Amino acid sequence: MMYLSYCGIRVTDLERSLRFYTELFGLKEVARGDRTKHGAGIYVLLRDPKSHQKLELNWYPERSRYGVPYMPGEGLDHIAFKVDDVTKVFGTLVSRGVEATEIDPSVMGGWSAYVKDPDGNWIEIYQQGPSTDSPIPEGY
């Protein structure tokens, strides 16, 4: 099983963007996480109450390897597909010539990996962990 789960955009001011999408567009916060200790940033998952579509806001500190200079129009952070087996899907994609990033399943504890589309846009493949302490919140 594989399906499009959400789109993630990079933001420069998380609280400002959170107010924008919740107050003006009616999106509701359903999950939040801090991955700064892993070299990433802070994310907030929003959901539209009518369509149930999800948007992830991603903010990265300057010291993060993802905290590169922000260029307007280049804010798409990644597109995410939920899968049953990250390692298997990742291996299949790479064997078919899809370019992997440095974030493969071994780096993310087996629950997430990233590949690139032909234009270099990042695509996350992830699976929900079996335990309640999974780094992927149930809202995804």
Instruction: Report the side by side order of strands in the sheet with 76-83.
Output: 28-34, 42-47, 54-59, 2-10, 76-83, 122-126, 112-116, 99-100
Annotated catalytic residue 124: yes
Rg of the chain on CA atoms, in Å: 15
Nearest to 8 by CA among 41, 49, 44, 50: 44
Q: Which of the following is catalytic: 15, 56, 62, 124?
A: 124
Q: Look at residue 103 and give its three-state secondary structure.
A: coil
C-beta neighbour count of 72 within 10 angstroms:
6
| Residues involved in catalysis | 124
